[in-house]
Amino acid sequence: MSKKQIDAKVLEAANEWLKGGYDDNTKEIIRDLMANNPEELVESFYRNLEFGTGGLRGIIGVGTNRMNKYTVGAATQGLANYLKKVYPKEKNLRAAIAYDCRNMSVSFAQITADVFSANGFKVYLFDALRPTPELSFAIRHFKCHTGVMITASHNPKEYNGYKAYWDDGAQMIPPHDKNVIDEVKKIKVKDVKFAGVNENITMIGEEIDDLYLSEIEKLSVSPGSITRQSDIKLVYTPLHGTGVKLIPAILERFGFENIFKVYAQDKTDGNFPTVVSPNPEEPAALEMAMDKARKVDAEVVMATDPDADRVGIAVKNLSHSLVLLNGNQTATVLIYYLLMMWSKKGKLKGNEYIIKTIVTTELLAEIAAKFGVESFDVLTGFKWIADVIRKNEGKKTFIAGGEESYGYMIGDFVRDKDAVASCALIAEAAAWAAVHRKTLFDILADIYLEFGFYKEDLLSVTKKGKTGAEEIQKMMENFRNNPPKIINKSEVIIIKDYLTGKEMDLTAGEEKNIDLPKSNVLQFFTADGTKISMRPSGTEPKIKFYFGVKDILPTKEQFDEVNEKLNKKIEAVIKDLKLK
């Protein structure tokens, strides 16, 4: 690509930065891109970063489509301007800010604090890296109007991000997210108040840790099991991230005595030197922890992502070998355990509920129904789970929520997924199972025996850059305009299109509205119980395909046999849809 071939809008955006009040180093990098790397110039300026399911997220670098001092400053200034419009009479606007281990996180957090403080906000800034769920807790504790978490979650090391929160400790949903973007789009570099006001910034730290961990302790539903199995062996790794301090601390508070660490991964490092990707969904990320677990004969392995809001686990299977559970399986075991214990303790009064996302296993709804607990479906993203909690506050009791991408939330004092609380309750569930001479895998198998073997899988197709985004959009259009009639020899009986808000029952020839916000998601349900969901990722250059199939599990001994049968069924579905 030559300079002449660069889109005029890209050149206009880049030249704005060359003419504007940006620092000399930034301008020098832009000039170099213009002369020597026009492809990267396009990627850096072809759009503005926007809030998706996880907020603002992008590669660190110069440009409107990158995470840098100016995009962070503009996002904060736009957010501050919007909050002043929403709360015109509020003289004491408040914001909480936290950050993770990623490169530039400390700097971006300070810039965010400076801009808020310069706009007259009272700012509560954590004195060191902290998990995302603790930021949500701090917003609620200090009755803040907003909060920001500097993190790119599980993305590769070249990324960072900016998660924006509302006054309930949840990430922003419409209309606030879109309205903030509108405000951000108005911001010129000269409008950003970068000069912080120190007296408006209060540093916070261990006192909030203690309050947050104390709330998690209250979630325990079987402390006696831990007393009897306090020596159960647990391996934990933070994957170089923020869980390094608080997760071992909460496990110790719960009463666990044998917590084994992966010391090489305890070092906080935004380059994630021991893993290709700091994503607990990736088996490779847990390899070192699995090796440790085999050496010490541990029952459970837990690994959290850089901002400690998601957790991946491994447990001993029926042959006593360590195997990974996927996010649907962990959610199944965790929520079954909680509902069972609430039932045993007589805590279920008839107004309790759980929440899952539309791409998460339908097994959770089946389990909830057994216990007489209501189940809500929401769009992908815990901000939608928090929205249901907000609407039901004071009327119904939220027990837990989960999504297939390894995020879970127990209780409502935090309004985002919480790996700190999840690790504590997963470990407690393992202790309860051990009291009954079982493992978490045994509990999962028991659930499958009762409800059927639900098997889920995910296929992510990555399409990077501007052309990739266009390809993803084309794929969605093709499936939407030409939906399959038969998938793997089974008739498609229901189509749900969340973009049009319509659910079509093809057997009855009926159409009804979907009572959820519009979203670019398609779902196909077939006569044999297969469920296929597809959606572009809101945080990564991917289109994701979710598959759910099911069958009967006659006996525990047939677990591997049925599992393999369902694996082949998913492979056949993928082949039939021509995704590979």
The answer to whether 92 touches 121, Cβ cutoff 8 Å, is: no
Q: Where are the alpha helices (H) located in 276-362, listed in sequence order?
A: 287-296, 327-344
- Looking at residue 405, what is its pLDDT? 93
Is the overall model pTM greater than 0.85, yes or no? yes
**Average pLDDT estimate for 250-265:** 98
Query: Which listed residue (44, 105, 153, 537) is catalytic?
Result: 153
- Looking at residue 353, what is its pLDDT? 98
Is residue 53 scored above 60 in pLDDT? Answer: no
Q: Which residue has the tokens 């006696």?
A: 224
Interval 292-343: pLDDT, tens: 999 999 999 999 999 999 999 999 999 999 999 999 999 999 999 999 999 9
- Looking at residue 48, what is its pLDDT? 85
Arithmetic mean of pLDDT over the chain: 95
Interval 372-429: pLDDT, tens: 999 999 999 899 999 999 999 999 999 999 999 999 999 999 999 999 999 999 999 9
Backbone torsions φ then ψ of 512, nearest 5 degrees: -140, 165
What domains does the chain contain, in order, with CATH numbers? 1-46 (no CATH), 50-204 (3.40.120.10), 212-451 (3.40.120.10), 453-576 (3.30.310.50)
Report the SS3 class of residue 471: helix
Has 153 been annotated as catalytic? yes
- Looking at residue 7, what is its pLDDT? 83
- Looking at residue 355, what is its pLDDT? 98
Q: Which residue has the tokens 């660190």?
A: 60
- Looking at residue 501, what is its pLDDT? 97
| Strand ranges for 144-244 from DSSP E | 146-150, 159-165, 201-204, 233-237
pLDDT category of residue 185 using cuts at 50, 70 and 90: confident
Is residue 4 scored above 60 in pLDDT? Answer: no
Output the DSSP codes for 104-131.
THHHHHHHHHHHHHHTT-EEEEESS---
